[in-house]
Amino acid sequence: MINYTATPSEDALDDAGAGSDIDHTNTVSINAEDKTGATGITGAPFYGGPDDASAQIHSADLQVTKTGDGTPVAGKRYSWDIAVENLGDDTSKADIVVTDAIPDNVTSFTLDDGDDWVCDSDEDQWTCILDGDLAAGDSAPVITASGLIDSDLADGTEIVNTARVKGHTYDPETDNNRDTETVEVTTRADLRIDKNLGGTIVKAGESATWTIDVTNNGPSTSRGTIEVVDTLPAGSTYVSATGTGWDCSEDEGVVTCERADDLASGTAANQITVVAKIPASQTANVVNSATVSGPTTDPVTTNNTDEVSTAPTRTTTLTVEKAYTGAQPAVAGDTFAYDITVDNVGPSTATNVQVTDTLPDYMSFVPGGTSNDDWTCAADGQP
């Protein structure tokens, strides 16, 4: 018995074609003779045959389709579906192999093998092998690829991902063995502002201090310029606004601080400190609000403004001095004159100030004897 193998060339496809219903026939014949040169005895040959055998070149057209799931956002995970289908007329025999190159600007890239696939990875790509054959017209279970898009990518950056499929059975159409999906990245940065009073009280007539903290909750980098606008309390006087990395200015009671640098996802900018002097006569709540904004789309705007409202504390220090200003020497029966001086050292405005002067028993108040229209005076218990 003679055993041998043969590999069909491209000519076999041209001459006969591919498919389980197309026979490729190989014919064998034998020629034999004895020492005398005879090829048989009495008309019967020494050999049988010829004989032939047929084989088929099965044809399975594997197609791979890669589809992205929506629009990727920098800093968030994104996924693709990989679908494999046999468009041919014959079964595609194992092994059927899908490879997926890890895209640039994507980390933590994985393939969910799901049913019937066994997947593994190396440094540059993932490889999945289908457990079994794939019949004509059938589709394999979908493979899901996913990865974390770099948070610092610019808006509009393209992510290119390519998947390939290869089978053991002859594939007449190789253009659909590879599919590339290109998606454009968008950016979203959730800026949050927190405003707090420095200390626990606000005193009318003194300076109050507030702190402003800006945080990027992500998922993407927030591009500069980032701007904070702080509306000072009504009637207050601007004193200062400072913060490392911030350029602050004030105009008519509105403080504007700008940060030219980007702010990475999950990080906070340096704190801003704002100082303003509160009017000495302030009685209503001291209200200070600040708002943050940036050029990167903000998906959550409810945390872009924060406000602090504080009831002011009024503190005053009053002094009083009394001096005799009548004739010298004083004579019994004459009118005695005195000056009473009241000063407010502050810091707040004093209201409803009352001065009580208790006269000796031997003296009586002279009606109309006060000479300052700012005061209203009355005698109590005097004759």
SS (H, E, C) the chain: CCCCCCCCCHHHHHHCCCCCCCCEEEEECCCCCCCCCCCEECCEECCCCCEEEEECCCECCEEEEEEECCCCECCCEEEEEEEEEECCCCCECCCCEEEEECCCCEEEEEEECCCCEEEEECCCEEEEEECCCECCCCECCCEEEEEEECCCCCCCCEEEEEEEEECCCECCCCHHHEEEEEEECECCEEEEEEEEEECCCEECCCEEEEEEEEEEEEECCECCCEEEEEECCCCCEEEEEECCCCEEEEECCEEEEEECCCECCCCECCCEEEEEECCCCCCCCEEEEEEEECCCCCCCCCCCEEEEEECEECCCCEEEEEEECCCCCCCCCCCCCEEEEEEECCCCCCCCCCCCCCCCCCCCCCCCCCCCCCCCCCCCCCC
Cα–Cα distance measured from residue 264 to residue 152, given in angstroms and rounded to the nearest whole number: 7
Q: Is residue 144 part of a domain?
A: yes
One domain for residues 21 and 94: no
For residues 345 and 280, what is the distance between their CA atoms, to the nearest angstrom? 11
Say if strands 305-310 and 247-251 run parallel, antiparallel, or are unpaired.
Answer: unpaired
Range of the domain at 257: 189-313
Domain boundary among 260, 292, 313: 313
Q: What is the pTM of this model?
A: 0.74
> Does residue 43 sit within a domain?
yes
Please indicate, yes or no, whether residues 268 and 380 belong to a single structural domain of this protein.
no
Give the pLDDT confidence score for residue 51 in this predicted structure: 66
Q: Using alpha carbons only, what angle is made at residue 96 by residues 91 and 98, rounded to the nearest 5 degrees?
A: 140
From 125, 157, 184, the end of a domain falls on 184
Same domain, 302 and 376: no
Q: 285 forms bridges with which residues in the sheet?
A: none
User: Tell me, what's the pLDDT at 165?
Assistant: 97
CATH assignment at residue 279: 2.60.40.1510
- Specify if 3 maps to a domain: no
Counting as low any pLDDT under 50, the low residues of the chain are none
Residues 145 and 126 in one domain: yes
The span from the CA of 342 to the CA of 318, in Å, is 7
- Same domain assignment for residues 330 and 303: no
Residue 293 belongs to a domain: yes
> Does the N-terminal peptide bond of residue 329 adopt cis geometry, omega within 30 degrees of 0?
yes
Structural domain contains residue 209: yes
Q: Are residues 152 and 242 in the same domain?
A: no
Report the pLDDT value the prediction gives residue 375, as an integer from 0 to 100: 80
Q: Read off the pLDDT of residues 309-351 as tens digits, 9 standing for 90 and up.
A: 999 887 777 788 888 887 888 787 788 888 888 887 777 777 7
Q: Does residue 263 sit within a domain?
A: yes
What span, in angstroms and rounded, lies between the C-alpha atoms of 199 and 208? 9
Same domain, 142 and 81: yes
Let me know: does 308 contact 195? Beta carbons within 8 Å: yes
104: in domain:
yes
At 13, give phi and psi (nearest 5°). -75, -35
pLDDT for the residue 22:
60
The residue to which tokens 């890669």 are assigned? 66
The pLDDT, as a whole number, for residue 276 is 96
Asked whether residue 5 is assigned to any structural domain, the reply reads: no
Residues 248 and 262 in one domain: yes
Quick one: pLDDT at residue 41? 75
309 and 367 in a single domain? The answer is: no
Cis amide linkage into residue 383, ω under 30° from 0: no
The pLDDT score that the predictor gives to residue 351 is 77
CA 19, CA 35: separation in Å to the nearest integer?
47
Q: Are residues 225 and 165 located together in one domain of the fold?
A: no
Confirm if 319 and 343 have CB atoms less than 8 A apart.
yes
Is there a single domain that holds both residue 116 and residue 173? yes
Give the count of domains, the chain.
Answer: 4
Residues 46 and 130 both lie in one domain: no
